[in-house]
Amino acid sequence: MVEAELKKWGNSIGVILPAEKLKELKLGEGDKIDIAIVKKKKIDGFGLCKGAKPFKEEKEGHGRFW
């Protein structure tokens, strides 16, 4: 799975694939591929932790600090 951003390319929109992934899959210019397109939802961070338990800081020497 590769995450890519759509970019303006002339009058069209294009996808640029990372070189590392192309090398891993042994793909190059002219190769034909199939692409399954899934639109990712943007997540609004406001209220993301709503309903979560309050953070409780541990005192030094009593466990891990995160």
> d(Cα 59, Cα 31) in Å, to the nearest integer?
58
Q: Which residues, 6+ apart, have CB-to-CB distance to 65 below 8 Å?
A: 58
- pLDDT (tens place) for every residue of the chain, 66 residues total: 888 888 998 999 999 889 999 999 999 999 999 988 888 877 666 666 666 666 666 666 555 555
Does the global pTM surpass 0.75?
no
> For the chain, which residues make up each domain, given as ranges?
1-40
pLDDT value at residue 62: 54
